[in-house]
Structure 1
Amino acid sequence: MAVLWKAMAGGLLLTFSLTLLGWGAEGQGNGRDKKAVSGGATVYLGQDRDIWRPLIHTTVNLSEINSIKSSFQLRTFDPEGAIFYGDTKNGDDWFVLSLKDGIPLMQISKGDILISVAGGTKLNDGKWHTLEVSNHEKFVVLEVDGSNKLVVGMQSKQTVEVLSGQLRLAVGGILIDKEKMIVQFEPQMDGCLREGNWLNLSIPWETEAEELWPCYQHVQPGSYFPGTGFAIFNTSVFPIEADHEVKAELWGDFSKIDGTILSIKAPGQWRTLALAANNNTKEVTLTYGKETMRMKNTINRLVLTFDTDSMHVFEAEDDSEVTMSSDSVVSFPGFLTMWREGRLAIGGLLGEGEDDTGSHFLTGCLEKIQVQGKDLDLDLAHKHMSISSHSCPA
């Protein structure tokens, strides 16, 4: 059992030690352009970096490992992303734990075995969940909150070898080619880890980051914009429905946000539409072409609907499609033609002409964004890394 465990130690022997969220980790330079990080550091997985590159990592001799159990706490509203990775033989044998559709996903490669298994309850509910990974002879067990278990059995016909050498551990990314995995997923996760235990080891970890970003102590669902960037989509990914209509909906307390909420334009053209909130004037303005519509910023849900030659704008009082406090219909010819090849920016004002460099960035939380009736996942956009795609400070 000890031999098998050391062979899979790359991810299975994980013990994550993190302090209370809300405070960044402190590191000290090690003279190699990397900072040493305590195993008890707070880790925000969505920090700015290459999205597949681990946020922190360490290397340990297999001879130093004497534990077969690891545990940590995870909190996220994000349904998808890499949590931790480990390997031996410089990446020939590896283990990856991630979320996919909010559900834990384990992928394991060892010798001639390649395994993928997912199951259990969804963990992207914004609550703290305790995850424990352990090895029991031929079985790898992932336990969630002391009860839900995901069990993987492995048995190879190859001769069992006594491994020596080093084990690499990484958090928030992987160290192999992503094409080697059975199940592909988006790696970046808007989530935090804390209070773990790594193999009962006290070895230092390393990070290329100048400092680790702090996690908010309390969070709520939504997308948070700190006023430093925006997210851009090609509008062609949102097909026009059979009724020849485009619909965008935004939820949030508009009195607590400031800056451009969204803007739309076609390549090479002047900006077609821009929606912005202004804390100073207490207004929300919708600019389309040379026209401007002004509304009070007491909005909690705004719906924009475009058809062949007009735009409907209404403020809904709740989630009902029929309850609305105001409704405006204005002429807007040519919008659907522009939509088929345009750009949609959330949180900023698109530039002039072919220039997509933004300005007037949004500060605040949008609780939910929908386009064509589907929730918008900002992780799928070209976005500034400072934006939290799935959580806002509460």
Structure 2
Amino acid sequence: MTGSFRKIAGGSGCVAVLAACLVAVATGAEVQRNGRGKTMIPGNSTINLGQQTNSWRPLVKTTANLTDVRSIKSTFEFRTFDPEGVVFYGDNHSGEEWFVLALHGGVPEMQIYKADMLISSSGGPRLDDGLWHLMEVSTEGKFVLLEVDGSKALMVGLHSQKVEEVITGQLRLALGGILIDSSKLLVPFRPEMDGCVRAGSWLDLTTPWEMEDDGAELRPCLETIQRGSYFPGSGFAVFNISALSIEAPESGVKIVLEGEFGQMDGTVLSIRGGGALVLGVDIDKNSQTMLLTFGNTVFSTASNTKKIMLMYHKQSIHLSYGEEPFEYQQNLTEGKNLDQSIWREGRLAIGGLLGEGEDAVGSNFLVGCLKKILVQGKQLDMDLSAKDASVWSHTCPVLQRERDNGRDQWV
């Protein structure tokens, strides 16, 4: 994130350097504690930003004196499948001037506030492709420049008629969140960023990062990843169905799930409405069985498929799966039509069985990667749910066979 520091070359002020002020992280986080009991991480550590849930609060932050700044260029490597969220932030004088680098629609976006000017600019290549990209933030005169993989991606000019004073004081930097109220942003966006940074140089500063949440554990940055939502067996995600804007439920509601279901274990999906559990889909990895629970009806079939489609009509529920679809249909008797109010008042859970409120009861949390979760043809975004911090919104590990025991494991 940014901060304030003494005037350096060219005169676009602290904010220009603010942008450059931020950007670092390398390999091997050596976790320590400071005198206030906070977890400290060296500035050259690899850090996974994807463990914040519904919060603008940064994952890590640091503070440095502007007099310690010796460089106006910062570089780091960045990798994500997430199209939207905060990468880093910086400010000086506790937020009087600030800088934010984020992704919006997969494209880099810079927002800068300086001398009563609020500027936003986006452009460059899409970065949500799961590949490592070399990022460089620097200043050239009155311009803040973002380079991606050695090519200019985004440039923002800054000029104020105000007399620029020599800046002293402290610089605050943060990763994965911001230190100002989100209402100050010119362009709103969702803050959560499921991505990793590594191999950084942050203005040559050596100040360590401090973790905001004392109880949090650093999530690893995996060597090999794939697109999807990963559930490690310790939590689930809940959506209010009304927020999904399901249209024309009278003509049927279709939910499509894709993944290696034969390698999963636990509750994949559940729907609750009208005070009762409407539907549940569970997988038992040991028996390679998938159970569909609909009211008092339980249907069992093999789980060795990569695609499940559930279609709800007013008087029936329809299940199909596989490349050569197996189909099962449960017709409802007179007076037992599917209550259409669930599409207005119900809740949909991915990775757990819904109980009262938003609790999960009576089932195992899902272990596995869901590559696609489509409702009425639209991909569900885990960042729009109330989810456990253990759920990876946009990133999955890769299923690999262990040499020693011949079993497939998520690694």
TM over 0.5: yes
Residue in 1 that maps onto 2:299:
293
Q: Distance in 1 between matches of 2:305 and 2:339?
A: 24
Aligned twin of 2:87: 83
**Distance in 2 of aligned mates of 1:355 and 1:86:** 36
Aligned to 1:9: 17
- CA deviations 1:132-191 (Å, max 9, x no partner) are 001001111001111142011111111222111111111111100110000111111111
Name the counterpart of 1:259: 266
RMSD: 1.7
Query: Which of residues 218, 234, 244 in structure 1 aligns to 2:240?
Result: 234
2:281 to 275, 284, 290: 275
Q: Distance in 2 between matches of 1:194 and 1:298?
A: 37
The one-letter code sitting in structure 2 at the alignment partner of 1:247 is: K
**Matched positions, count:** 382
Q: Does 1:325 align with 2:325?
A: yes
The residue number in structure 2 matching 1:321 is none
Residue 4 (structure 2) aligns with:
none
1:65 corresponding residue in structure 2: 69
Is the counterpart of residue 137 in structure 1 residue 144 in structure 2?
A: no
**Contact 1:229 1:386 (C-alpha < 8 Å) held by counterparts:** yes
More deviation, 379-388/61-70: 61-70
Larger mean Cα displacement after TM superposition, 93-102 or 200-209 = 200-209
Shift of the 285–33 alpha-carbon distance from structure 1 to 2, 3 Å rule, reads: same
Deviation (angstroms), 1:337: 3.1
State the match for 2:127 in structure 1: 123
TM-score normalised to the size of structure 1? 0.93
Are 2:15 and 2:99, in contact at CA under 8 Å, matched by a contact in 1?
Answer: no
Gap change, CA 1:337 and 1:344, over 3 Å in 2: same
Q: Is the 8 A contact 1:108 1:114 kept in 2?
A: yes
More displaced 10-residue stretch of structure 1: 147-156 or 328-337? 328-337
Q: Is the 8 A contact 2:20 2:202 kept in 1?
A: no
Residue 49 and residue 286 in structure 1: after superposition, are their counterparts in 2 closer, same or farther (change >3 A)? closer
Using the alignment, how far apart are the partners of 1:85 and 1:33 within structure 2?
A: 24
- 2:205 maps to 1:201: yes
Residues 279-304 of structure 1: CA deviation (Å, up to 9, x unaligned): 12211110001111111111100111
- What amino acid is the match of 2:256? E
Q: 1:7 to 1:119 in 2, by over 3 A?
A: closer
Partners of 2:41 and 2:208 within 8 A in 1 = yes
- The answer for the alignment partner of 1:320 in structure 2 is none
Moved more, 337-346 or 74-83: 337-346
User: Is the contact between residue 261 and residue 276 of structure 1 (CA under 8 Å) also seen in structure 2?
Assistant: yes
**Structure 2 unaligned regions, length at least 5:** 1-8, 399-411
Q: The residue matched to 2:277 in structure 1 has which SS?
A: coil
Contact 2:130 2:226 in 1 (8 A): yes
The percent of aligned pairs where both chains have the same amino acid is 48
The answer to whether the Cα contact below 8 Å between 2:196 and 2:221 also exists between their aligned partners in 1 is yes
Question: Equivalent residue for 2:401?
Answer: none
Q: Structure 1 residues 383, 50: closer, same or farther in 2, change over 3 A? A: closer
Pair 72,296 (structure 1): closer, same or farther in 2 beyond 3 Å: same
Q: Could you tell me whether the CA contact under 8 Å between 1:15 and 1:198 is conserved in 2?
A: yes
Q: Structure 1: 5+ residue runs without aligned partners?
A: 318-323
1:164 aligns with 2:138: no
